[in-house]
Structure 1
Amino acid sequence: MTAVAICATLTTSLALPAVAQTALDNLITAAKSEGVVIVDTATTRFPAESGPNLSKAMSEKFGVDIKVELTNSAPAPVMTGQIIEEAKAGIAPAVDLVSVPLAFTKALNENGAIENIDWASLGVDPSLISKAGNSVWVNTVARAVVYNVNLVKGDDIPTKLADLLDPKWKGKIAGPGFGDAYGMISVPVLGEEKAAEWLKALYDDQGLAVISSMTDVPNRVANGEFMIGMGVSANYSGLVDKGAPIANAPLEKISGQPYFSFVVHKAPHPNAAALLAYFMCCTAEGRKALLDNMGWSMFDTEGSEQYALGSNGRGVTPSEDWQLNEQARVGKAMDKLIGR
């Protein structure tokens, strides 16, 4: 069954559990015939066993033998730009499934670069489906504040973003080198005006060290170069598991960046890609496999780092309208505040 045929089947089916199960069964059959799904994880690298472990978990859930291949290409802006250019030129993409912040899907949709899978007809919870209807929420990256446990202790451990403006931290804080990250760290928690004031003070008065790679920030906190960092959680790259002296600050409120998965238009294995996305977003087994093998989860995923940071209402995410229509603008404004 082709991707177009599956989309038509899902679109014409009624939103009833039995019909949703029939649509899922059809998708499983079509995915089985493709046998492989290629996932572009941008610049994030995962252990070699992650793909095979996801394959095994999906096989146990659906009774299919589908090879999950994880590949790296480029940062999300470059990667999505390439997908758009391929779509405009009619070039077949090399990958099937991509997960990005929702803001990136706006241009992708405008250029017809996302396959029109009808997730709602598969019975997916509406809260996990983008308003465009063709991507699903699979992960929330906690925009955390981290600290070196050997250098920051007791009452000095920050509990809110304003604590980073204490003069004692001058020259001792590191953050990522792009404004969008600071927008996500601060705006959902403080509001746009106060967030801009906070970042300006952090950069101008506190001597914020701007690090080009966001994932390198916790590394440099762990090695003692800086006392405090922000952008990703302490164990985002497995530092805590490796025994590094780093932890997440117990913030009263913490923001998260939602990541949505979509099937690339004219993907070589669209049905296998759709099944994997469904597995990741919408099944308990898939969420566990994501957490165990990629560290991906939601604020409500018990046992996850995200849950420890944002459960009980402490984790907040911006509205879809803000992500699509304001996030890019705010990111550019924040760039100026850090000299970019």
Structure 2
Amino acid sequence: MKRFIGILGVIASTTAIAAPVAAQSTLQDVIAKAGAEGAVAINVSTTRFPLEAGPNLSAALSKEFGVDIKVELINNSPVPVMAGQIVEETRAGVTPSFDLFPLPLAFTKAIDAGGAIERIDWKGIGVDPEFIDPAGNAVWIDTVPRAVFYNTNLLKGEDIPTKLEDLLDPKYKGKIAGPGFGDAYAMVSVPVLGEEKAAEWMKSLYNDQGLTVIRAISDIPNRVANGEFEIGIGIPANRTGLVDKGAPIANAPLESVGGQPYYIFVVKNAPHPNAGALLSYFFCCTAAGKKALFDDMAWAKFDYEGSEQNAVGGNGRGKVPTPEWQLAEQDRVGAAFDAIIGR
């Protein structure tokens, strides 16, 4: 697959992988060691958050566990670049510049093969096994709805789509924009339609409906809001804050919505591994952590009430594939969809 060529090249050249660190056995062990470390950094790739997000998360984490830990959100290169970099750093024995990396499981598979994930006893510190990936590497903290949204000035009433198949109506031909990577369309459609029907839907959307592919997914809401397109695909309408600013876009009330789960893991040789494990547990498994994660980063799962994720996919409408499918099949399906859009 194109997106993993760089990562897999690095993995192939890795000759030695350090033994995993001793796993922590209890949450109290992690709290004590995290307090001694005093800081934790999350790589958020190219996503930008308000300056107060880090201090707010620090305050919430410290209040919950009684330890002072500075939380820093680090902007860096795009995900494929950073995924390859941390494997290179592990091979070279270089201390990484961050402790935590939230990613889809399809990416963690290649990073794990490169020995760049720290082994944490997630179950031992209290993480529900339901939220631990099958390899035991990472913890599920967020779901990005692969939503459909529309320009509220251009579409009204019965013209607003309510299911994915509606997008194949000829009246939308040439009026739909979507991202430039097949993975997004896979997660839009496969959890809802199944692989076979999703592939046919994707072919028709691109070949018959004249889907416009836009490289940066964050640009799509802007171009729907300005009336260039009637419909956008791939992220919720307010993911970049446009709805809050009064932009004329809204999420389509789909009967079922696919979602991309994001899992967070501690990077091998991280300078603050215990603080990383504690923050991951905080986000995943405490009410205060879920609230802080949403309030300061707008990250949540479909079941978090008051979130856009819940508004889009609550009451069972949000669908995500199994972790096993994400690890074993998502790469293959994403590559097939890449081929359809000529990527």
Shorter-chain TM-score: which interval? over 0.9
Q: Does 1:325 align with 2:328?
A: yes
Give the counterpart letter for 1:256 in structure 2: G
Query: Partner of 1:14 in structure 2?
Result: none
Alignment of 1:283-298 (within 5 A): 283-298=286-301
Stretches of structure 2 lacking an aligned partner (at least 5 in a row): 1-19
Q: Does 1:301 align with 2:301?
A: no
> Which of 126, 130, 154 in structure 2 is aligned with 1:127?
130
Q: Does 1:138 align with 2:141?
A: yes
The CA distance in 1 between the partners of 2:61 and 2:254, in whole Å, is 35
Query: Partner of 2:38 in structure 1?
Result: 35
> Which of 165, 170, 180 in structure 1 is aligned with 2:168?
165
Query: Partner of 2:11 in structure 1?
Result: none
Alignment of 1:1-340 (within 5 A): 4-5=21-22, 7=23, 9-10=24-25, 23-340=26-343
Identity among equivalent positions (%) equals: 66
TM-score, normalised by the number of residues in structure 1: 0.93
The CA distance in 2 between the partners of 1:333 and 1:158, in whole Å, is 26
Per-residue deviation at 1:260?
0.3
1:145-178 deviation per Cα after TM superposition (whole angstroms, max 9, x unaligned) = 0001111111111101111111111111000001
Number of aligned pairs?
Answer: 324
Per-residue deviation at 1:237?
1.0
Question: What is the CA RMSD across the aligned residues, in angstroms?
Answer: 1.1
The CA distance in 2 between the partners of 1:283 and 1:264, in whole Å, is 22
The CA distance in 1 between the partners of 2:240 and 2:122, in whole Å, is 31
The CA distance in 1 between the partners of 2:166 and 2:77, in whole Å, is 35
Per-residue deviation at 1:4?
3.2
The CA distance in 2 between the partners of 1:210 and 1:154, in whole Å, is 26
The CA distance in 1 between the partners of 2:258 and 2:237, in whole Å, is 15
Secondary structure of the structure 1 residue equivalent to 2:124: helix
Stretches of structure 1 lacking an aligned partner (at least 5 in a row): 11-22
Q: Which segment is superposed worse, 247-256 or 25-34?
A: 25-34
The CA distance in 2 between the partners of 1:60 and 1:130, in whole Å, is 28
The CA distance in 1 between the partners of 2:295 and 2:225, in whole Å, is 23
TM-score, normalised by the number of residues in structure 2: 0.92
The CA distance in 2 between the partners of 1:154 and 1:197, in whole Å, is 27
Per-residue deviation at 1:109?
1.4
